Structure 1
Amino acid sequence: MATTVNRPVTHAGVRKAERNPVDHVWAIARIAIGWVFLWAFLDKTFGWGFATPAAKAWINGGSPTTGFLKGTGEHALGVGTRIAAGAGTAMLLLMWAAELPLTTNPFLDEHIVYAIVLIGLALAGAGT
């Protein structure tokens, strides 16, 4: 005799994904990494004075990333979590390499840590 298993469904009839604590940690990591990228974009756009002075802001005709990105080449824009994680990892590794030699740590800095988190998100199937 077959056993019937009742599973929670959404209003569209699609089964809800079962959640565990690690899913919440990965969700927080995704939001945190997104905030780091968003904040850098906003500071460079408006020159709020954290990493970018107002005179070098994009909105004021400046180019805050000219020196930093000089010689790093084109960056890919991803659509979807895995593609975005790959593009973000590549960008972070280029940013890490552009700062060599590191002044605060001989090897590991936040760029490598963020890249590891992005790789983890991609491999964990985040966004599915």
Structure 2
Amino acid sequence: MAVSEHRISGRRALVSLKVVAARPITESPAARYVWAVARIALGWVFFWAFLDKAFGLGHETPAGKGWIDGGSPTEGFLAHAPKGPLAGFYNDLAGLAWADWLFMLGLAGIGAALMLGMGMRLAAGAGAVLLVMMWAAVLPPENNPFMDDHLVYALLAVGLALVSAGDTLGLGRWWAGTPLVRRLPFLK
């Protein structure tokens, strides 16, 4: 707070001035809610993929071909879709039990963390890695020389963690205050 001296009608008066800095746009209520809704939407993209692949809900995974029915959540895509310089690497992963488990745990965990607003740093990092791997499987992308939705989603995931999007419409603020997260801040 700044204090300045002024003369009013021959008398000396002290006037205090409060200096207020403008808030960054990411701290405005409207921006916080937009980021929160984007976080929940991206979380749903991941979680829906998990549900469809796990239970064969008929969207991308036909009924009766879900993971619980003995189907492989990685085999269809990794055996047939990869192209470009990394196709052989991804083809070799198709249908491997450990790849199925890692993929499905990733989809469920990333989706749940984003929708709840907890573990945003881990979810953003893991989500970005998974999305970049999915992008790399189909190089070059079909509709652009290099950019596709996987890279956009990866950038969005990292941005959501950077602006603490889990604190609005989520459990991020509570999660950050837990003893575990205070001791291990990378879990925030």
Is the TM value for this pair above 0.5? yes
- Structural mapping, 1:1-128, within 5 Å: 20-68=29-77, 70=90, 80-127=119-166, 128=173
Unaligned runs of 5+ in 1: 1-17
Q: Distance in 2 between matches of 1:65 and 1:122?
A: 27
Count of aligned pairs between the two proteins: 111
Q: Could you list the per-position Cα deviations for residues 24-72 of structure 1 after superposition, in whole angstroms to 9, with x for gaps in the alignment? A: 0110011000100011001101112211122431021100213545457
Q: Computing the radius of gyration over CA atoms, which structure comes out larger, 1 or 2?
A: 2
Q: State which drifts further: 26-35 or 92-101.
A: 92-101
Unaligned runs of 5+ in 2: 1-26, 79-89, 94-98, 111-117, 167-172, 174-188
Larger RCO (CA within 8 A; separation ≥ 6): 2
Normalization by structure 1: what TM-score?
0.73
Q: Distance in 1 between matches of 2:165 and 2:53?
A: 28
Q: Distance in 1 between matches of 2:49 and 2:158?
A: 20
More helix per residue: 1 or 2? Answer: 2
Q: State the superposition RMSD in angstroms.
A: 2.4
